[in-house]
Amino acid sequence: MREDDVDIAILDVNMPGMSGIETVLAMPEERPYIVFVTAHPEHAVKAFDVGAVDYVLKPIDDARLSKAIDRARAFLDHGPSGRGEAAGGEAGAGAHPSGNPPRLTKLAIATHDGAALVAPSEVTHATFDGTLVSVHTSSRTILTDDTLQDLETKLGPAGSFERVHRRAILNLDHVERLESVDSGGYVACLSTGKRVDVSRQSARKLRRRLGLR
């Protein structure tokens, strides 16, 4: 799996030698989306704790497994912001009564002492360093209480943003160059001089979006 380009992995929780949970924890950071199968429902919490997108109980029903794979594909195509839709969340929950919520010109970024308001076009990228999420503009860096998933949802309507790594979101309007790397991904060079890693998995989606082969 370290060498092959795997997007989705289906693992049994109980496997000889190493459990499915242990297998996921041993994977590199850029691991595939995981679907667990098992006869033991008590393992569900641990499965989701390690980032599984779904959990299928044995005996396996073909339709249920197909639904789990579709959910993983939704994550692959749209990133974690697709979780609610893929998981069967109610469409339109919290929708504006008119069906067309007013368009906001400012992005509200949650901070420890309130919120910072910035125009989405000013955001060059957002990153997660394992502890903190930072939103970057050309003039400042904002530490936020939002997760990258929160930001991805907020920035979605802006259209120019792309989740390019489990730890990064890019505003494509600020990308000046994409440099290929040996892993199959890119390093995105921004107008501000910053450089952001694009994972191999995300690079394929980005190439499709940009019309590259």
Domain locations in the chain?
A: 8-86, 107-210
Report DSSP state, residue 172.
G
CATH number of 8-86: 3.40.50.2300
Distance, in Å, from the CA atom of 33 to the CA atom of 133, rounded to the nearest integer, reads 22
Q: What is the pLDDT of residues 61-92, one digit of tens each?
A: 898 899 888 888 877 766 554 433 333 332 33
The pLDDT assigned to 33 comes to 86
The pLDDT assigned to 77 comes to 65
pTM: 0.55
The pLDDT assigned to 106 comes to 80
Contact 79, 152 (CB under 8 A): yes
| pLDDT more than 90, % of the chain | 30
- Do the first three CATH levels of 8-86 and 107-210 match, i.e. the same topology? no
Distance, in Å, from the CA atom of 41 to the CA atom of 35, rounded to the nearest integer, reads 14
The pLDDT assigned to 30 comes to 72
Distance, in Å, from the CA atom of 30 to the CA atom of 166, rounded to the nearest integer, reads 7
Residue 79, class by beta-carbon neighbours within 10 Å (0-12 exposed, 13-18 middle, 19+ buried)?
buried
Whether 53 has a pLDDT exceeding 70, the answer reads yes
Residue owning tokens 């459990």: 19
Residue owning tokens 């955001």: 123
How confident is residue 155, by pLDDT bands cut at 50, 70 and 90? confident
CATH topology of domain 107-210: OB fold (Dihydrolipoamide Acetyltransferase, E2P) (2.40.50)
The pLDDT assigned to 70 comes to 86
In angstroms, the Cα distances linking 60 to 19, 33, 47, 69 are 19, 19, 17, 13
In angstroms, the Cα distances linking 130 to 4, 139, 147, 160 are 25, 23, 11, 25
